[in-house]
Chains A and B, each alone.
Chain A
């Protein structure tokens, strides 16, 4: 009996546990930039899909910021109709191969799955990825019939996940969407931030972006919102609405002595050189990147993990994550943290940099750390770090990567003073994601501060619905 028949017979439903995903072995993968997680094959996918209870009131959908009809697409996989499965996913999500890889499913769809109570949720992300990858490999696009031409134009400023979602949604309704991207390639954090070994660029990101072309979406690179093109001029050019999704990429630094030494840099700089600039192929590609033998990374979120794991692949002798709390409190996704540790990243808990020391040529040589301890739990139940008076230690390091988080991208905001900001310097929007300028919407990190790809996409979807209503394409 094959697995489809078995599934139909109800024999393998929730009794078996989640199908694991094959990965490159740690010792092997730290020597290359190829993808770590290898994805399901057809048989694994059908087996995993067979576990879905197809709940009458699916909680998973409510956990998805873009409301993918999850049980429906999983049913289609179980029935072997992969084209239908992709059509269902793409009805609300323009980037399934991306989301299947980088969404924090454990806090979203899979966290809501009824089987997660038994720590055995359906691997929704892996199934989403499987369906999307299947058609990317076949080089076959499964898209709805060509949308009607409404003759309407909408502009998106910033080419990241929020704008891409707006473009996909409105494109399917027959709106001509132009996406203005400041860098030389669209995709935002998908191309400059998340490393190739987690999210392949040519094989995945560019494929999903180019699929949007079939919906009439146009990407204009090297267009800086607020500089090359202003919000006002877009309306003059006939765009009926403008969506701002310029992100939050301004890196924070500690402000400690020695931070401008050569060899201290932001995680954004390090990752942008490696990802967007392809510095892992230097000198075949021209973008250089700092090399370190003893690398330290500051911060413990996903970006810190990406930087640390990239440094291993760039040939570092040792890579340490320096964090002022302990492993328990690290904000990175569990899977990213586990992958980093498996690959040999060392966790330096309870330490914060006091100053960086350099040689006579201004090159980084070491870091002096303040040793911390955890204090009482605060109102949120999280134990806060505090310095242990007079306890310091020094670590040799020749490359220090600062991953402390990022703030609002300022260029468009500064050039558009009529945009109302909130107290933290992000764009203020109403529940329809409309800004203080009528017809101008915003979403993603430039509204919320740095968050996830999928939350930006959720915001894009909300804004796109509001724009569609404004243009009379959806009932208000």
Chain B
């Protein structure tokens, strides 16, 4: 079954895009926190992306990606109407969502996309969701409008100060946690250093922090262990035990290290792809 790209929104040319895919069976059962494993073509590698949104009625799922190597570059090269060879999912445990009050959802970079789906789930469960989003500059802020549609507040920070407060999301988070003592949970999705910093920011306030990890994966269903991560001193598989974990228990240094495990080969693959003008069949 082909997975057609129904709509492509280029968020940052050559760097970040949002794709809406025709995937009715995935859309029908996808819940916040789930991810998919994709393979762009029949020579492609399998890689995970969090589902940014899913509509069971139209049968469409949305994914957002940052071009980091050959596979994401290849994905970015596909125009609307083209098909992706394989999309498998929904995978991973869904976010544990219950009605509890105010939830602060923090997203950084493309992590905002994944956070969006989780925030929407919390909103639908009756929680008051305050979104905190950050990026290098204002034009890189994803899902700002979508979040604004259901969050009473969307707090923004950018590195260059072009939109919102100049600085880091953790600065906004710290201020907010100091002002508002009724925050029941913080959710953080983004680069590893950001998630680690969110945990450290929340620690003095004693607020639970849920993080969604972006480990390297192969099958995505517990059969290889590439995504293993230390949580509370024990080995956990991000794909079947996660992708969400208690942020206080995650060994972020190890996670960061493991993300670079195949860096040299990923670099070689990407360089060959770029040298061939982005034509994978000549790589």
B71 within 8 A of A: yes
Closest Cβ–Cβ distance, residue B247 to chain A (whole Å): 18
Which of chain B's residues have a CB closer than 8 A to the CB of A362?
A: 254, 257-258
Which of chain B's residues have a CB closer than 8 A to the CB of A286?
A: 43-45, 70-71, 269, 280
Which of B46, B89, B240, B265 is within 8 Å of A184, CB to CB? B46
A283 within 8 A of B: yes
Alpha-carbon gap, A108 to B138, bound state (A): 68
Per CB-CB distance, the 5 closest pairs between chain A and chain B, nearest first, are A288-B265, A362-B257, A269-B224, A249-B223, A262-B261
Query: Which residues of A are in contact with B by a Cβ distance under 8 Å?
Result: 182-184, 192, 220-224, 227-230, 249-251, 253, 255, 259-260, 262-263, 265-266, 268-269, 272-273, 277-278, 282-291, 361-362, 406, 409-411, 414
Nearest B residue to A263 via CB reads B261
B219 within 8 A of A: yes
- Other contacts beyond A222-B1, A262-B257: 10, CB < 8 A: A182-B219, A222-B86, A228-B26, A230-B29, A251-B224, A260-B229, A260-B230, A283-B265, A409-B222, A410-B222
Contact of A287 with B86 at beta-carbon distance under 8 Å, contacts A260-B235, A266-B225, A268-B224 already known: no
Which of chain B's residues have a CB closer than 8 A to the CB of A266?
A: 224-225
Closest Cβ–Cβ distance, residue A202 to chain B (whole Å): 12
Nearest B residue to A182 via CB reads B221
Can you list 9 A-B pairs, Cβ within 8 angstroms, ordered by A?
A184-B46, A228-B26, A253-B235, A260-B228, A269-B225, A273-B218, A283-B265, A290-B262, A361-B257
Contact of A253 with B283 at beta-carbon distance under 8 Å, contacts A259-B235, A411-B240 already known: no
B173 within 8 A of A: no
Per the 8 Å Cβ criterion, residues 235-277 of B in contact with A are 235, 240, 254, 257-258, 260-262, 265-266, 268-269, 272
Alpha-carbon gap, A243 to B153, bound state (A): 49
Nearest A residue to B71 via CB reads A286
Which of chain A's residues have a CB closer than 8 A to the CB of B103?
A: none
Which of A287, A291, A406 is within 8 Å of B45, CB to CB? A287
Instruction: Let me know if A411 and B235 touch, CB within 8 A.
Output: no
Instruction: Let me know if A224 and B221 touch, CB within 8 A.
Output: yes
Instruction: Let me know if A268 and B225 touch, CB within 8 A.
Output: yes
Q: How large is the interface on B (under 10, 10 to 19, 20 to 34, 35 or more residues)?
A: 35 or more
Closest Cβ–Cβ distance, residue B235 to chain A (whole Å): 6
Which of A192, A227, A282, A410 is within 8 Å of B90, CB to CB? A227
Which of B45, B85, B258 is within 8 Å of A288, CB to CB? B45
Instruction: Let me know if B223 and A272 touch, CB within 8 A.
Output: yes
Contact of A251 with B87 at beta-carbon distance under 8 Å, contacts A260-B228, A288-B45 already known: no
Which of chain A's residues have a CB closer than 8 A to the CB of B136?
A: none
Instruction: Let me know if B223 and A277 touch, CB within 8 A.
Output: no
Which of B43, B45, B87, B222 is within 8 Å of A249, CB to CB? B222
Alpha-carbon gap, A68 to B111, bound state (A): 55
Nearest A residue to B235 via CB reads A253
B66 within 8 A of A: no
Instruction: Let me know if B225 and A253 touch, CB within 8 A.
Output: yes
Nearest A residue to B90 via CB reads A227
Q: Quick one: which of B90, B218, B235, B240 has the most chain A CB within 10 A?
A: B218
Per the 8 Å Cβ criterion, residues 115-145 of B in contact with A are none
Per the 8 Å Cβ criterion, residues 67-124 of B in contact with A are 70-71, 85-91
Which of chain B's residues have a CB closer than 8 A to the CB of A255?
A: 235
Which of chain A's residues have a CB closer than 8 A to the CB of B229?
A: 260
Alpha-carbon gap, A228 to B59, bound state (A): 13
Which of chain B's residues have a CB closer than 8 A to the CB of A288?
A: 45, 262, 265-266, 269
Nearest B residue to A254 via CB reads B235
Alpha-carbon gap, A223 to B26, bound state (A): 9
Which of chain B's residues have a CB closer than 8 A to the CB of A183?
A: 88, 219
Instruction: Let me know if B218 and A221 touch, CB within 8 A.
Output: no
Alpha-carbon gap, A260 to B233, bound state (A): 11
Nearest A residue to B85 via CB reads A184
B226 within 8 A of A: yes
Which of chain A's residues have a CB closer than 8 A to the CB of B165?
A: none
Which of chain B's residues have a CB closer than 8 A to the CB of A269?
A: 218, 224-226
Contact of A227 with B29 at beta-carbon distance under 8 Å, contacts A286-B71, A362-B257, A409-B221 already known: yes
Nearest A residue to B281 via CB reads A284
Nearest B residue to A220 via CB reads B1
Which of chain A's residues have a CB closer than 8 A to the CB of B262?
A: 288-290
B39 within 8 A of A: yes
Which of A268, A277, A289 is within 8 Å of B46, CB to CB? A277
Alpha-carbon gap, A223 to B262, bound state (A): 28
Alpha-carbon gap, A183 to B218, bound state (A): 10
Contact of A260 with B258 at beta-carbon distance under 8 Å, contacts A222-B1, A228-B29 already known: yes
Which of chain B's residues have a CB closer than 8 A to the CB of A273?
A: 218
Closest Cβ–Cβ distance, residue A394 to chain B (whole Å): 22
Which of chain B's residues have a CB closer than 8 A to the CB of A230?
A: 29
Instruction: Let me know if A287 and B272 touch, CB within 8 A.
Output: no
Which of chain B's residues have a CB closer than 8 A to the CB of A283?
A: 265, 268-269, 272, 283
Instruction: Let me know if A260 and B43 touch, CB within 8 A.
Output: no
Which of chain A's residues have a CB closer than 8 A to the CB of B279?
A: none
